[in-house]
Chain A
Amino acid sequence: SYELTQPPSVSVSPGQTARITCSGDALAELYAYWYQQKPGQAPVLVMYKDTERPSGIPERFSGSSSGTTVTLTIRGVQAEDEADYYCQSTDRSATYHVFGAGTKVTVL
């Protein structure tokens, strides 16, 4: 089965930059998407098609892609950015959706 690999955790001081990676064999040929989930809340889309930011998402969130790895970058991290972040993609037929295991971002 198709898998996406994320680091379990990332720690960052306020004002610094957090980078969360997501790796998968097919990511060189498929888009990835990122969701932010705070405790007790539903996930929120923060990045789509690797680098596109939905309206309402702060500019400090950006995305990039290189080969089989995509990266969500949060510049100037704020306390409110502390959350779990999940990457998501599909298989090549676009009929199977897969999530990474999630990365917990802790703001020190």
Chain B
Amino acid sequence: QLQLQESGPGLVKPSETLSLTCSVSGGSISSSSYYWGWIRQPPGKGLEWIGSIYYSGSTYYNPSLKSRVTISVDTSWNQFSLNLRSVTAADTAVYYCARHVRGYDLTYGYYYYMDVWGKGTTVAVSS
């Protein structure tokens, strides 16, 4: 059974870089059927997609975060990572990693949805 586990510091200082890793077990990150991505949820608020990556390294980012975000993949370790630069208190959130199913049909073309999620890790930005 596929499992995803986020790891990284729970506290980051303002202006520094938030770095998280998602370790994938029970399946290969190199499958052509999936993307892998990050989603966050500020306290008491809704979900926000941060970005996604394919095992080949192809990435898509939320335009509102694109200038500060880098997502990378390490297929040898079966994991992918998030770097968010120049953080502020507004980046305080629970960060989730998730597998994105990648499909295609003749009606709507490519589609993606998140079928397996990690438990999430809380990151606070504070001095």
Show the binding face of A for B, using Cβ within 8 Å: 1, 29-31, 33, 35, 37, 41-45, 48-49, 54, 86, 88, 90, 94-102
Contact = CB atoms under 8 A, between A and B. Distances in A.
B108 A30 contact: yes
B117 interface: yes
Contacts of A86: 46-47
B109 interface: yes
Q: Is the interface of A mostly helix, strand, loop or mixed?
A: loop
Interface in B37-58: 37, 39, 46-49, 52
B46 A54 contact: no
B117 A98 contact: no
A96 B119 contact: no
B108 A43 contact: no
B52 A45 contact: no
A42 B117 contact: yes
Interface of B: 37, 39, 46-49, 52, 60, 62-64, 96, 101, 103, 108-115, 117-120
B114 A30 contact: no
A88 B48 CA distance: 10
Contact of A97 (B49, B109, B118): B49
Contacts of A31: 108, 111, 113
Closest 8 CB pairs of A and B: A97-B49, A33-B113, A42-B117, A94-B110, A99-B47, A95-B60, A102-B46, A101-B46
24 contacts: A1-B63, A31-B113, A33-B113, A33-B114, A37-B47, A41-B119, A42-B117, A43-B47, A43-B96, A44-B117, A45-B113, A48-B101, A48-B113, A48-B115, A86-B47, A88-B114, A94-B112, A95-B60, A97-B37, A97-B52, A97-B112, A98-B49, A99-B48, A102-B47
A54 B115 contact: yes
